[in-house]
Amino acid sequence: MQHRIVVLGGGYTGTVAAGRLAKRLRREDVSITLVNPEPDFVERVRLHQLAAGQDLAPRPFAEIFAGTGVELRLGRVTHVDVDTKTVTTTAPDGTGSDVVEYDTLVYALGSGWDVDGVPGVAEHAHDVSSRPGALRLRERLAALEPGSRAVVVGGGLAGLETMTEVAEAHPGLDVALVARGGLGDWLSEKGRAHLRTVVDRLGITVHEHASVAAVGPDGVTTAGGTVLPADVTVWTAGFAVHPLARATALETTDRGQIVVDATMRSVSHPDVYVVGDAASAMGPGGKPLRMSCASGTPTAWQAADAVAARLSGGEVPRVGIRYVQQCISLGRSDGLIQFVTADDRSKDRALSGRVAVLYKELVTRSAVWAVTHPTMGVPSRRRRVVRSAARADEPAGATAL
């Protein structure tokens, strides 16, 4: 009987994990199923471009997984029962349900926009954390008259990319950013200076050290009581993991992330591996990994290699996870590459302008290349499954560092 591996979520991490497992294990010994509500892979790091009016190239899973043996099952995950090892899904249109059984589960449901804690966000704001959200924002922006006001809430990477993309693509709009801290206050001095130059050039108004207390149909209200009128509000103030994990018996953190060990294996249920934003994993310096593509892809490598090693009776390898840079698009004609330490602290070194644009585009294309080449182009021998599901669920043995 084949060992059943089910991967939940077709983002960067889930797609990489499924493809890498297919490269590591013999097709006769395993079945690999990817569950996702859409038939195409979505480049999440480009969704601010989609929202601003650009079109993204379609990337069908049928092409990505052609010849690999990975089966795509279209559906939205509604329940995970880690005791019976089953996953319940509904059809993308919400009709009908199905139950998928697994021996090993790779949980890669990721994160979305955080609508909790601030009244009115879910009802009145737009997001760029999903393709449907980006398309709704795109439609709204296209309908606005010149002189209309767009307010972006959140001064992190998503907020910076969204405000500059919108301001450049829609020069007739009055664009503003609301940031809880200072503008780019985590960047180096050079990075902050360049960011302010771009903001001034694009005519963006920045409200620094301001928290939003409520979002309404016509604007936002800060904690200090200031009302900022808006014809469209874009919410990028943090991301929240999929709430599904909290409803399971998996051990989770207060944020709803699933607690894993160094091999991305659930500490409470050894037949479950967690990758990307859904995982509570430690990185360099003993700091939690940041929710990002930069963190997610290495965790997918680690989980896939650990599953393959345990099923085939080999040593579990250790994938090094560290940060190198933060790549920020500032519209199509400008950008910022902030180099960082292994534990994600800004260095003095940064690139800006056209060089940064080309650098960011190379990194973005490389991320897609890694999805379609999950072993990074290195030939891989497919190994036989020699352990039963029960033995594969035992604590890990030797780990190759």
Distance CA 262, CA 328 (A): 29
Residue type, 123: E
pLDDT computed for residue 388 by the predictor:
54
**Whether 343 contacts 287, CB under 8 Å:** yes
Mean pLDDT highest for which of 92-96, 194-198, 387-391? 194-198
DSSP 250-285: S-B-TTSPEEB-TTSBBSS-TTEEE-GGGEE-B-GG
Residues 276, 162, 92: CA angle, nearest 5 degrees: 55
Residue 351 in tokens? 């690139």
CB 5 within 8 A of CB 30: yes
pLDDT at residue 394, rounded to an integer:
52
Residue % of the chain over a pLDDT of 70: 96
DSSP states of 351-384 as a string? Answer: EEHHHHHHHHHHHHHHHHHHHHSTTTT---PPBP
pLDDT, tens digit (0-9, with 9 covering 90-100), for 27-60: 999 999 999 999 999 999 999 999 999 999 999 9
- The tens digit of pLDDT for each residue in 79-135 reads 999 999 999 999 988 888 999 999 999 999 999 888 878 999 999 999 999 999 999
CB 358 within 8 A of CB 334: no
Given this model, what pLDDT does residue 68 score? 95
Give the pLDDT band (50/70/90) at residue 397: very low
Per-residue CA distances from 170 to 54, 231, 243, 310, 331 (Å): 12, 14, 35, 52, 11
Residue 395 confidence (pLDDT): 46
Burial level of 274, CB count in 10 A (0-12/13-18/19+)?
A: buried
pLDDT at 285 over 70: yes
Q: Which domains does the chain have, with CATH numbers?
A: 3-113+239-322 (3.50.50.60), 125-235 (3.50.50.60)
